[in-house]
Amino acid sequence: VKIAQISDLHFGSLNPVVAEALLRRLRADKPDLIVVSGDLTQSARESEFIAARAFLSQLPAPTLSFPGNHDLPGMDAARLFNPWGRYRRHIAADLNPEWRSQLVQIKALNSARRILPHWNWANGAVSRRQCADVAAAFSGRAAPWRIVALHHPLAPSREVHLPVTVFGRDALLAELRRQRVDLVLAGHQHHAKVEARESDGHVTLFVNAGTATSTRLRDQPNGFNLMHFTPTEARIELLRFDGGDFAVFEAFAHSKPSGS
């Protein structure tokens, strides 16, 4: 199974040359699924969602997408009364979607909130209900590779000057340990990196993606992630835009005994 993760497309501040190169590259790679991990738009405008939808429709695989903080309208009535109306109308009705194959199972969570108990509403949160949904998703006949995906990173990079707070993070981390989740996919910081953490002999990889197509670069060029799964092996490639095409600049191999 081959899964691509593209993040932080930011229609509204998009580099069209990079977007074309991304389409070309994904058509060549032919993934089975493309995870779109939030911030599809810059300002949650109707026109931006329409452009994002047109782009998703050109992708060569089904998508699993969920919102980021930029997909919420700013300080207008829509933020209060119908925060997810535009996202739902143009992108997908389900804000916490799931995908499963024989080998890989993904549970996505919407971590963006219209209001937070923090001065910076760009931060994220996960609720108790969402933790319970993670438990429900992986109980019973879970696939060998268990993945949780959300926009805000639980293991943010300290190399970029964008601190991230995720309310409810500790409860979610405890649930990820209980469910022996293998990978956690995130975006938001526009910085790609992979970090492995072990607990009770189980390794969880925290895989963060850069911004695939936006001009809002922090200290990395545009990029996306490509993941290959066999029953016992995962290979994660971080690709970046080199001016003409996307190329692998870092790769991680991760194996686990079958049935763990």
- The answer to the question of residue 8 lying near Fe ion (CB under 5 A) is yes
Please answer whether residues 235 and 228 qualify as being in contact, where contact means their C-beta atoms are separated by less than 8 angstroms: yes
- Buried (b) or exposed (e) across 176-185, using 16+ Cβ within 10 A? beebbbbbbb
In the complex, the smallest distance separating the C-beta of residue 69 from Fe ion, rounded to whole angstroms, is 5
Whichever of 86 and 188 has its CB closer to Fe ion, that residue is: 188
Whichever of 39 and 175 has its CB closer to Fe ion, that residue is: 39
Find where tokens 């580099």 sit: 15
Whichever of 39 and 48 has its CB closer to Fe ion, that residue is: 39
Strand order, beta sheet including 63-66: 63-66, 33-37, 2-6, 223-229, 233-241, 246-255
In the complex, the smallest distance separating the C-beta of residue 16 from Fe ion, rounded to whole angstroms, is 18
Among the candidate windows 38-46, 221-229, 236-244, 247-255, which touches Fe ion by CB under 5 A?
Answer: 38-46
In the complex, the smallest distance separating the C-beta of residue 216 from Fe ion, rounded to whole angstroms, is 7
**Cα–Cα separations (whole angstroms), residue 232 to 1, 139, 197, 253:** 12, 20, 18, 11
The 10 Å Cβ neighbour count of residue 95 is: 18
**Interface pick for Fe ion out of 86, 90, 188, 254 (rule CB under 5 A):** 188
How far apart CA 157 and CA 30 sit, in angstroms, is: 29
**Interface pick for Fe ion out of 12, 31, 68, 124 (rule CB under 5 A):** 68
Whichever of 91 and 137 has its CB closer to Fe ion, that residue is: 91
In the complex, the smallest distance separating the C-beta of residue 212 from Fe ion, rounded to whole angstroms, is 10
Please answer whether residues 68 and 28 qualify as being in contact, where contact means their C-beta atoms are separated by less than 8 angstroms: no
Q: By rule CB under 5 A, what string of x and - marks binding of each residue 69-88 to Fe ion?
A: x-------------------
Whichever of 69 and 96 has its CB closer to Fe ion, that residue is: 69
In the complex, the smallest distance separating the C-beta of residue 59 from Fe ion, rounded to whole angstroms, is 19
Q: By rule CB under 5 A, what string of x and - marks binding of each residue 11-30 to Fe ion?
A: --------------------
In 3-state terms, what secondary structure has residue 140?
coil
Please answer whether residues 173 and 153 qualify as being in contact, where contact means their C-beta atoms are separated by less than 8 angstroms: no
Among the candidate windows 13-21, 60-68, 82-90, 177-185, which touches Fe ion by CB under 5 A?
Answer: 60-68
- The answer to the question of residue 48 lying near Fe ion (CB under 5 A) is no
Cα–chain center distance at 240: 16
Q: Which helix (H) or strand (E) holds 107?
A: strand 104-109
Question: Applying CB under 5 A, what is the total number of residues that bind Fe ion?
Answer: 5
Whichever of 69 and 105 has its CB closer to Fe ion, that residue is: 69
In the complex, the smallest distance separating the C-beta of residue 122 from Fe ion, rounded to whole angstroms, is 6
Based on C-alpha coordinates, what's the Rg of the chain? 17
How far apart CA 107 and CA 139 sit, in angstroms, is: 12
- The answer to the question of residue 39 lying near Fe ion (CB under 5 A) is yes
Q: What are the residues binding Fe ion (CB under 5 A)?
A: 8, 39, 68-69, 188
